[in-house]
Amino acid sequence: MVDKSGADGRSLIRRRAGLKLWLSGGWLATLALAAILAPWIAPQDPLAQDLFLGRLPPVWIQGAEPGFYLGTDSLGRDVLSRILYGARLALIVALVAGTVTCVIGASLGLLAGFLRGWVDVVISRAIDIWMAFPPVLFSILLIAVMGPGLQSIILAIVVIDWTRFARVVRAEAMAQGAMDYVASAQVAGRGRISTMLTEILPNVLPTIIALLTLEMGIAVIVEAILSFVNLSISTDDPTWGGMIAEGRTSIHQAWWVLIFPLITLFLTVLSFSQLGEGLKDRFDPVLR
């Protein structure tokens, strides 16, 4: 019978998922808003250098200058403003690369897992071969060939990570495909592709969403790694990875140049993965 009283453990799961969802969603929303509004809310020009203002500490430490809330780096550039502008690139990469990777990988995984046969053989072998390449070297190589730039970063992430989606979604689609309701749908005269879209896809969707947000976090990391080794976009534009790389050289004199972008990066990646977990719990029809 329909149980709306929540006397069992389901209501507890939901409450915890709710908190996770709010915290991670809140951080990401704030960050997104800050990134969009960066030109208006950033206290300083992120590119303006002033050697007289070099290595200023954050405002709550003695020797700070007003207007430079999180201090400045060795060239006198404002850390907070650079983090805000860096968020733009990080979030664009997360959204675009994450989504494209998800669509390509999940489609291939779904086809392989549900249709089986030669489709599965072709896609699975492609995944196996693909996964034999070392991903970091592969992406560095790709960007070295294509030249740095936003498209190159996104393409590198898609090319490396579609296998993650394909693998997981394929396994999930296979598990769902063995369920009796898929057989029932086919006995009821539903075609293969239509069965895949109405019976399999909705049940794989919670997994896809969890993977998608996870992938967005990974995209942020990959972007940071690439900019850390100076293979991201042009060297002038602020990136979190680039800031971390610069901060590393002056960690003893000006720890804030390294620490603040690092914390932002950490919170962002954590929020993406927790958002996925929270959404999965919320969308899972059995837990809902």
Which residues of this chain interact with other proteins, rule CB under 8 A? Answer: 1-3, 116-117, 179-181, 183-191, 198-199, 202-203, 205, 285-286, 288
Shorter beta-carbon distance to other proteins: residue 95 or 115 = 115
Q: How far is the CB of 194 from other proteins (least distance, A)?
A: 9
> What does the block give as tokens for 201?
């896809």
Report the run of H or E that residue 214 belongs to, with start and end.
helix 201-228
Q: How far is the CB of 14 from other proteins (least distance, A)?
A: 14
Smallest CA-to-CA distance from 217 within 164, 170, 166 is with 164
Round to whole Å and give the CA distance between 88 and 105. Answer: 25
Dihedral class, residue 176 (left if φ above 0, else alpha if ψ from -120 to 50, else beta): alpha
Beta bridge partners of 72: 78
Q: How far is the CB of 197 from other proteins (least distance, A)?
A: 12
Shorter beta-carbon distance to other proteins: residue 29 or 183 = 183
Handedness of CA 36, 39, 44, 45 (dihedral sign): positive
Shorter beta-carbon distance to other proteins: residue 17 or 257 = 17
Q: How far is the CB of 288 from other proteins (least distance, A)?
A: 8
Round to whole Å and give the CA distance between 110 and 121. Answer: 13
Shorter beta-carbon distance to other proteins: residue 66 or 285 = 285
Q: How far is the CB of 101 from other proteins (least distance, A)?
A: 24
Shorter beta-carbon distance to other proteins: residue 55 or 116 = 116
